């Protein structure tokens, strides 16, 4: 299993310290740097943060886990994602999802009730733009060509439409919450849809979890703040935070047993020491 680490983009951290986090994560041999996405929240923009991380690193992969795709104008998203891919030497993977917060959509004047349609339209345009087709009028492409022809995608979501998008457009699937037990139930469903859709090989299968070793109370508070809009479910997320090295190691084993091929640990404490503590716990 590949083990990634999230950038602390939703936490109180200075920009230079965020870049230092990216450097340390690469030094400690994590597989990827992840971001989670919101508009109406004081977090760093996902693709901007990954562009900064790309400039400060040379090997570690970059992973939006996930980017709330319908919030973004498709042509601009095509240009920015192709740019980050090119600037990073082809290290970007896009985890994409439709989102579920009406206030995010209202803030950017995008129709919440049409988010599924917007998602499908955006996926179509992204692939056309990455292939070099003019998608904004005139005769020019809107961005550089991705290094490998297209930016790899992992699709988020568990509904039938999300499965259909995974099979049609993606290199695999990424799971938000739910824990290893939920992953063990979801993975066979994804693999079956993959085979029935005529896709070759095996899908990439990713998941995320939250951790914070230095201060359990602060970790729970950070998650309650970020997920407060979910009401009582925010307490369930906060209660699931991994607060010890032994629990982190056990979580890796449980997700591996469920068939997940990459697990990303997202931090709830922004101190740089948390990178080293996690590496010591889960990287051999």
What is the model's pLDDT at position 92? 98
Q: Residue 177: what pLDDT?
A: 82
At 58, the pLDDT band (50, 70, 90 cuts) reads very high
Whether residue 119 has pLDDT greater than 80: yes
CATH of the domain at 183: 3.20.20.30
How much is the pLDDT for 233? 87
Say what the pLDDT of residue 284 is. Answer: 76
Q: Structural domain tally of the chain?
A: 1
Q: Rounded mean pLDDT of the chain?
A: 97
Q: Is the pLDDT of residue 136 over 80?
A: yes
According to the model, what pLDDT value does residue 5 have? 99
The pLDDT value given to residue 258: 98
Chain-centre distance of CA 211, in angstroms?
A: 16
List, for residues 203-241, the tens digit of each pLDDT value: 999 999 999 999 999 999 999 999 999 888 899 999 999
Q: Tell me the average pLDDT across 74-78.
A: 98
Q: Which long-range contacts (CB under 8 A, 24 or more apart) does 196-203 make?
A: 196/167, 197/167, 197/168, 199/167, 203/166, 203/170, 203/171, 203/172, 203/173
Q: 197: domain range? A: 2-282
pTM over 0.95: yes
Digit-coded pLDDT (tens) for 144-192 = 999 999 999 999 999 999 999 999 999 999 999 889 999 999 999 999 9
């Amino acid at each position: 299993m590949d083990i990634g680490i999230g950038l602390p983009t939703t936490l109180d951290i200075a920009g230079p310290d965020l870049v230092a986090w990216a450097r340390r994560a690469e030094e400690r041999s994590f597989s990827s740097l992840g971001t989670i996405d919101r508009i109406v929240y004081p977090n760093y923009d996902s693709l901007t943060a990954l562009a900064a991380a790309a400039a400060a690193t040379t090997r570690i992969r970059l992973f939006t886990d996930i980017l709330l795709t319908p919030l973004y104008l498709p042509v601009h998203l095509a240009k920015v994602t192709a740019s980050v891919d090119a600037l990073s030497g082809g290290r970007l993977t896009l985890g994409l999802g439709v989102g579920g917060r009406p206030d995010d959509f209202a803030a950017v004047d995008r129709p919440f009730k049409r988010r599924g349609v917007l998602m499908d339209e955006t996926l179509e345009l992204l692939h056309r733009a990455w292939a070099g087709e003019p998608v904004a009028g005139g005769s020019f492409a809107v961005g550089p060509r991705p290094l490998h022809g297209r930016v790899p995608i992992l699709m988020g979501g568990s509904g039938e439409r999300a499965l259909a998008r995974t099979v049609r457009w993606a290199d695999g699937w990424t799971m938000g919450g739910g824990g290893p037990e939920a992953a063990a139930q979801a993975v066979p469903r994804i693999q079956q849809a993959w085979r029935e859709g005529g896709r070759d090989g095996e899908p990439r299968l990713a998941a995320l979890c939250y951790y914070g070793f230095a201060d359990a109370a602060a970790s729970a508070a950070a998650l309650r703040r970020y997920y407060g809009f979910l009401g009582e479910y925010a307490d369930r997320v906060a209660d699931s935070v991994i607060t010890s090295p032994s629990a982190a190691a056990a979580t890796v084993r449980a997700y591996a047993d469920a068939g997940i091929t990459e697990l990303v640990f997202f931090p709830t404490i922004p101190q740089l020491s948390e990178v080293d503590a996690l590496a010591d716990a889960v990287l051999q």
